[in-house]
Each structure stands twice: as C-alpha cells, then as structure tokens.
Amino acid sequence: MTVARPDSTAPRPRGRVLTWYQGLNAKHLVTFLNTLILVSAEWQFGGLGGYDRLAVSLGSCIATEIGLSLLVLGRMPRSYLSPYISGVSLSLLLKPQFGLLWPFAIGGFLAIASKYVLRYRGSHLWNPTNLAISALLLLSAPVLTKLTHEWGNSLGANLVIWSVGLIVVHRAKLLHVTLVYSLSFLALAAARAAVFPDARFLTEAAPLTGPMYQLFVFFMITDPPTVVRGRRGQMLVAFSIAMVEALVRLGLDHEIAWLAPLAPAPALFALAAVGPIAKAIDLRRRAGAQDRVPHLEGRGAGA
C-alpha cells in the first residue's frame, strides 16, 4: 500500500494576520493615515484653526485636479487621493494671519498644478504639497506665521500614528526611506545636543512627534512619483535631506542672514532643494541607460 506524501510544492496556509495584512489596500491606508493625523491634530491641539481652511484647501486641490485633468488629459481624474492628501496637509501646515483663506486656495492650486506643469522627462520633480508650502513661505512671509513643529507629546496618539504610518510606507516598499531619515534626524539631534551646551536631546528630537514631521516622513519624502529609483539611492537622498536640514539649522543658530527665510520649516526647504535635483539626475541617468541599450545590442549583432 502506497501512502501519498504531501505535495511540497503546494502553497502553505498563511496565518490570519499575514493574510489580513497582505490584503490591505495601500491607497486606503494612506487615506486613513492622512485623516488620522488631521483628526488627532484638531482633537488634541486645535491645530486646524477652522474647518473653513480645510474646505478651501480641499476644494482648491480637487477643483484644480479636475480642471487640469480635463484640459491636459481630456478626462476626469482617475483618483482623488493626491488632491485629498495635499488639501489636508495644506490645511494643517499653513498658518496665515487670522481670517486669511487665500493662502489655502493658492496653495491648493500650486500643489496640483505643479504635477502638470513642472515636469522633466515625463515626471514631476517636486512633491506637490512640499512645493506649494515652500513657495508660499518664501513669497508670503509677512502674512504666514511660523509653522508649528511640535503640537504635543501625546504618547498614545503618536504610537497609533507611527504604527499606521510605518505600515503604510512598508506596503509602499519605502519603509527604509522613513527609517533612514528619522534615524539620521535623531543622530544629528544627538550631535547638536552634544556640541551645544544649551541644547537638549529630547528638545532637539521633539519635532518628530508633531504632525508636520509625521506628514513629512510618511507622505512627502516617500511620495512614489518623486523618489529616485533604487533602494540605495533612496536611502542616500533621505540622508542628504536630513543633512541639509541640519546645516540650515546650524546656519540659523549662527544667524546667517540669507538663511533667515528658511527658518519656518528647514525640513521642507531641504526636501524642496535636494529632492528635485536627485530626481532629475535619476531620470537623466535612466534615459541615458535606455538610449545606450539599442547601441550596444547593435554592436553585438554586428560582431
């Protein structure tokens, strides 16, 4: 009598947790995390400053997305995730003088329009929200107040946001980008605390607990259309952004006058400077590699 052996090639049953995790929709996770940061910031710290700001920023982003999609692509947008994220981020990060709503309307237009206008080799170079906020801070400083870096140290809220955020970037295969930037930020904060007598590590590291940096590490530096190709390159860019931010902070500490406009948000300006340059170099190299392939193949056939 022959006993049938189990087929070693048959797929093994997966655990329920793993099956549930792999079945999660990344887009739904992104939307949930973005909304979670918004709700947490408003509920705990009143950071939104009025729901009219959210309405204007969301309305501007969605209207611009629809208008430019119809004008440039000749169809309605296939997804409203990008304008939703930009609208929520703008409403949280822009801090104009009381009663002013036009920065949210213009910010929404700049964020979405940049995807259609500021393109190189078929790709946009800047994270839309990062570009819009950086431009508004530079051009409208008299009416935009300093961004809030740390809105509180609620351990429970931060644990939830960072847990969901890490799941989101892991699903997007960009967890290493968030980790490299965060660890670099903490290492540089420790260095500042060691070098400057008045600096304290917890104070220097505290910005990572605030909504601004949560949006930054989970949405801006991990924006799939604007990250470079390759894990090593992505990690190098993340480290470079942290270094440029640290240098800007150091220059501000020494009161270098021409760096003063960057004081409201060194991290955002660091990304706005490093990210597009890295992306343009990556696109250029990729195009050069593709152009060389037929040439090399031709030489091989001829030989």
The CATH number linked to 247 is 1.10.3430
- For residues 24-41, give the mean pLDDT: 78
- With pLDDT > 70 as the criterion, what percentage of the chain qualifies? 82
Q: What is the number of domains present in the chain? A: 1
- What's the pTM value of the predicted model, to 2 decimals? 0.83
Integer-rounded Cα Rg, in Å, for the chain is 22
Which residue segment(s) compose the domain that 231 sits in? 25-290
Most confident segment among 44-48, 57-61, 78-82: 57-61
Print burial letters for 70-91: b (CB count within 10 Å at least 16), e (below 16): eeeeeeebeebebbbbbbbbbb
Across 6-10, 65-69, 213-217, least confident range: 6-10
In a domain, 259, yes or no: yes
Exposed, middle or buried, 2 (CB in 10 Å: 0-12/13-18/19+)?
exposed
Question: From CA 182, how far away is CA 282, in angstroms rounded?
Answer: 23
In a domain, 86, yes or no: yes
Q: Of how many residues is the chain composed?
A: 303
Whole-number Cα distances in Å, 294 to 221, 282, 283, 290, 298: 34, 20, 18, 8, 6
In a domain, 297, yes or no: no
List pLDDT tens digits, range 168-183.
Answer: 899 889 999 999 999 9
